[in-house]
Amino acid sequence: MRLDKEYSFETEEGTRTLAELFDGRSQLIVYHFMFGPEYSAGCPTCSAAADMFDGAVVHLAQRDVTFLCASRAPLEKLQAYKRRMGWRFPWVSSLESDFNFDFGVSFTREQQREGIEYNYRALDPTPIIEAGAETPFGELAAAVGTDPAGYMTEAPGLSAFALADGDVYHTYSCYARGCEFLLGFYPILDRGPRGRDEGDPPEFWIRRHDEYERAATRKDARG
């Protein structure tokens, strides 16, 4: 689908259009990283996926593909978190555009109350939000410094675009578990003797890579 709407992004090189993000290539893949303006840090699950990105970027570039992440948090906040995590892949801010909203990965609190569309279907997030700390969303919300409703103003996704004769075309998007392939350690776990070994109901175990030792220390302290 050809895109007629203009989008702008804040990058380390200044303000860029969506077409300029292709960086001289004909294909662009964008990971919609959950890091909203209300967040104090990036989503732990998105962060676990992002640990795999640096090694892939150079190989994708050899196949005429530019890969980057986009989030609604201000650029300076993204850059500070990127330094903390030790990442090098491109990361742009879409704060001043409708990009995240138009591609179904950001929602206002008012939209949440009215019901949203995510992953190609209608979704009422109210039960999840009201359950609060009783669900993994409560833990995730605390991990990014907001409440469950604030956490759910963002959602994960991946979108692909093509550039031809100056026009940008949207060619593909996937969301939710459709993005699980980005968590490169899962296929490795699946081939281990105990698989993912997450329990029933599944344990929410993923942390940012610099938090596992602290999480283990807290668990040991609780006995």
- The answer to the question of residue 113 being in a domain is yes
For the chain, the average pLDDT equals: 93
- The answer to the question of residue 1 being in a domain is no
- The answer to the question of residue 21 being in a domain is yes
Does residue 157 or residue 222 have the better pLDDT?
157
Confidence check: pLDDT of 223 > 60: no
What's the pLDDT band for 222 if we cut at 50, 70, 90? very low
The confidence score (pLDDT) of residue 31 equals: 98
**What burial letters (b/e) apply to 130-169, b meaning 16+ CB within 10 Å?**
eeeeebbbbebbebbebbbbbbbbbbbbbbbbebeeeebe
- The answer to the question of residue 67 being in a domain is yes
Q: Which of 128, 148, 125 is nearest to 138 (CA)?
A: 148
Q: Which of 95, 85, 12, 80 is nearest to 47 (CA)?
A: 85
How do beta strands 167-175 and 65-71 pair?
A: unpaired
Percent of the chain with pLDDT over 90: 85
The confidence score (pLDDT) of residue 216 equals: 54
34-42 average pLDDT score: 97
Does residue 202 or residue 70 have the better pLDDT?
70
64-70 average pLDDT score: 98
- The answer to the question of residue 167 being in a domain is yes
The confidence score (pLDDT) of residue 48 equals: 97
The amino acid occupying position 210 is D
pTM: 0.93
- The answer to the question of residue 78 being in a domain is yes
Confidence check: pLDDT of 161 > 90: yes
Q: Which of 125, 100, 95, 130 is nearest to 111 (CA)?
A: 125
- The answer to the question of residue 57 being in a domain is yes
- Under 8 Å between Cβ of 106 and 97: no
Q: Which of 158, 202, 195 is nearest to 177 (CA)?
A: 158
Q: Give strand ranges (E) for the chain.
A: 8-11, 14-17, 27-32, 65-71, 91-93, 116-118, 121-123, 157-164, 167-175
Number of domains in the chain: 1
**205: helix, strand or coil:** coil
- Under 8 Å between Cβ of 69 and 91: yes
101 CB contacts (<8 Å, ≥6 apart)? 107
The confidence score (pLDDT) of residue 221 equals: 45
46-61 average pLDDT score: 97
Confidence check: pLDDT of 208 > 90: yes
Range of the domain at 151: 8-222
Q: What pLDDT digit, counting tens, does each position of 167-206 carry?
A: 999 999 999 999 999 999 999 999 999 999 999 888 889 9
- The answer to the question of residue 2 being in a domain is no
10-33 average pLDDT score: 98
Q: Which of 68, 75, 102 is nearest to 10 (CA)?
A: 75
Task: Return the CATH number at 114.
Answer: 3.40.30.10
Does residue 33 or residue 135 have the better pLDDT?
33
